[in-house]
Structure 1
Amino acid sequence: MKNKIKFELLTSELFVLGILLVLVNDFYLKYAFSNVITGKLSDFAGLFIFPFFISIFLPKHALKNYVSTGLFFIFWKLEISNSFIGFISQTSNFAFYRTVDVSDLIALSVLPFSYKYFKKESVVDKKSYFLINSIIGTLCFFTILADSQPGQRVGKKIKSDKVYTLSIKKEKLYKELNSHEAGLYLGESDSLIYFYFEIPKYNASATAKVMIKEDSERNTIIKIDSISDITITGRLFFGINNSNVENCKNLKKEELENFFKENCIDKLFTTADTKYPTYAVVNGMY
């Protein structure tokens, strides 16, 4: 029997809902509400839509698609897949990353429901709309790709004693920062501050822990204590470039200090005129 592609199943309600759940969770909920639910939601939704999507193109092998998906998910979530992930990251130049957490395997419980739903939808007489099917199919493909490319953090922390002197009173500097950052209030007694800044060259960001004080001439002195939390992100659906990860791992102290100067110190007074500022005050310690 010919393995006829069932394009009409691309408009199945729960399938479309699964795609939307992955997108909303990965690009909003995980950051706005970081908890156990948002941590597992993409696994459940992803396991619902992925074998369903593959089975649309290989309906005769639907059961095999679901079993294979389950086995690969188990392999992917265990430490034994580390060498495989390293290999495909190197050969594709995309940094595939995942957290080893066996509790994620609970998401496998959604597979029988997805399979049953696929079989149920397969016998429903549906009309097929080329444009709608093309949009949903493309969106699903990129959703699956995006879900496998979260931000990757480099476990790197450098100590620094780099000092910058600004010809401005500390009070005025804090007034500028408070006006640029919604919900932020820095008082003159605050001296330990965390700056989040971007590293555009490698599509990454980092956090600098700095000490701020005034000298006898009322100039503001900014001294870096450390730079850490380097995180590389992908460009929406196109994943993380593995060379960016390797370059960030190899960044020297002087390079990180220069990125901090270029994307934070040099732009402290231009944020209001910049559509996409390259720094932000993360927190002030009182």
Structure 2
Amino acid sequence: MRNIPLLFHPVFIISLCALLLNDFYLKSHYGNILTGKLSDFSGLIVFPIFFAVVFPSSKKWITLVTASLFLLWKTPVVTPIIDWFNTYAFFTINRVIDYTDYLALLILPMAHRIINTEERNETNRHFMTTVLRFGLLGTTGFAICATSQVRHLCKDPIPSGTVFIGKKYTIKQSKEAAIQQIKSMGYDVKLVTSEHPCWYDTTFYYQTDHIIAELPYDYPPGYYSERKTDTIVNVKYKLIPVNDKKVKIEIINVTLTKNDYIQNWRVLKNLSERYETAIRENFVEKMK
């Protein structure tokens, strides 16, 4: 591993710390656009440098491969692979399709420059230096693997018929006022706290049951063939204060009255888009 000194480059160290801090703390406590993109930017520094250290011959092309894999990862094309992996693996992975994440690709030229133009002066081969090298390698490998694991409600049983939404909306009122308005609409607001929270991320969320929603057209075969009114079993969401007069509502998922175990990614994508529209029109916009 001739490129070991790259592990001690200050940009790599800062990026690795940012990746770990963001994934294990900032996202869960200060979820916003910045924390949503920070992992992508730092990860696109950490991954190619780590790969160039483990496989020194890859230094000329690893950033190009990283860009290609990142572009592919953020598309529905890999969804069937993720579904297959989650069916058989002992842990699950997840990713949100958000094409604005492609902005993080702007950081890759920096990674390429670090990998290919930095001096290769070997660090001392003292025992503690060797331990630090392997410690950094292990920590980096862990950070890369851990960043894609599912952390939302991972210790709480997810009922069949649950569809991930993952959308955020800003409401021009305080968190307390938003809760009161939901109640004035005739809905309940339950604070659900996990007794066994995930090793990172969501330890609590709000849940509102039995939301009456008018559904949009064009449902997948076997679901709804015409526009109709449905009662959604529940919607799980987070309320994140922006300031004294604004709150951000993050819709995590909805549970449908049709309690099938949905595996087909096209059906899931279809349902996610349509229930996002239904929740936005029948729940969120009534709070604005």
> What is the aligned counterpart of 1:33 among 30, 46, 62?
30
C-alpha displacement of 1:66: 1.6
Once residues 66 and 25 of structure 1 are traced to their aligned partners in structure 2, the CA distance between those partners, rounded to angstroms, is: 23
Amino acid at match of 2:143: T
Which residue number in structure 2 is paired with residue 103 of structure 1? 100
The Cα RMSD (Å) is 4.0
Which residue number in structure 2 is paired with residue 127 of structure 1? 124
**Maintained 8 Å contact 2:23/2:39:** yes
| 18-27 or 59-68, which deviates more | 59-68
Amino acid at match of 1:143: A
C-alpha displacement of 1:140: 0.7
Amino acid at match of 1:147: T
Structure number with the higher helix fraction is: 1
Once residues 135 and 73 of structure 1 are traced to their aligned partners in structure 2, the CA distance between those partners, rounded to angstroms, is: 26
| Alignment deviations for residues 21-46 of structure 1 (CA, whole Å, 9 cap, x no partner) | 01111122223322211110100000
Once residues 156 and 143 of structure 1 are traced to their aligned partners in structure 2, the CA distance between those partners, rounded to angstroms, is: 28
Which residue number in structure 1 is paired with residue 45 of structure 2? 48
**Maintained 8 Å contact 1:6/1:59:** yes
1:229 equivalent in alignment to 2:236: yes
Once residues 116 and 97 of structure 2 are traced to their aligned partners in structure 1, the CA distance between those partners, rounded to angstroms, is: 32
Alignment of 1:202-217 (within 5 A): 207-209=206-208
Which residue number in structure 2 is paired with residue 113 of structure 1? 110
> What is the aligned counterpart of 1:61 among 58, 61, 72?
58
Which residue number in structure 2 is paired with residue 260 of structure 1? none
C-alpha displacement of 1:227: 5.4
1:71–1:208 CA distance, 2 compared to 1 (3 A): closer
Amino acid at match of 1:194: K
1:74 equivalent in alignment to 2:71: yes
Which residue number in structure 2 is paired with residue 143 of structure 1? 143
Once residues 206 and 93 of structure 2 are traced to their aligned partners in structure 1, the CA distance between those partners, rounded to angstroms, is: 23
| Alignment deviations for residues 19-72 of structure 1 (CA, whole Å, 9 cap, x no partner) | 100111112222332221111010000010101001002122212222111111
> What is the aligned counterpart of 1:94 among 91, 96, 100?
91
Q: Percent identity of the aligned residues?
A: 24
Once residues 16 and 150 of structure 2 are traced to their aligned partners in structure 1, the CA distance between those partners, rounded to angstroms, is: 16
| Alignment deviations for residues 184-204 of structure 1 (CA, whole Å, 9 cap, x no partner) | 9xxxxx995522132649999
> What is the TM-score with the length of structure 2 in the denominator?
0.56
For residue 229 of structure 1, give the secondary structure of its aligned residue in structure 2: strand
C-alpha displacement of 1:94: 2.3
Amino acid at match of 1:91: Y
**Maintained 8 Å contact 1:21/1:42:** yes
Once residues 209 and 197 of structure 1 are traced to their aligned partners in structure 2, the CA distance between those partners, rounded to angstroms, is: 14
Alignment of 1:154-165 (within 5 A): 156=162
- Which has the larger Rg? 1
Q: Which runs of 5+ in 2 are unaligned?
A: 164-175, 177-182, 210-232, 239-254, 260-288
**Maintained 8 Å contact 1:194/1:207:** yes
> What is the aligned counterpart of 1:17 among 11, 14, 36?
14
Which residue number in structure 1 is paired with residue 191 of structure 2? 195
| Alignment deviations for residues 86-107 of structure 1 (CA, whole Å, 9 cap, x no partner) | 1222232322111101111111
> What is the TM-score with the length of structure 1 in the denominator?
0.56
**Maintained 8 Å contact 1:199/1:206:** no
1:71–1:199 CA distance, 2 compared to 1 (3 A): same
Which residue number in structure 2 is paired with residue 166 of structure 1? none
| Alignment deviations for residues 248-275 of structure 1 (CA, whole Å, 9 cap, x no partner) | 99xx9xxxxxxxxxxxxxxxxxxxxxxx
C-alpha displacement of 1:127: 2.9
Q: Which runs of 5+ in 1 are unaligned?
A: 158-183, 185-189, 211-225, 232-247, 253-286
Amino acid at match of 2:114: Y
**Maintained 8 Å contact 2:51/2:58:** no
C-alpha displacement of 1:123: 2.8
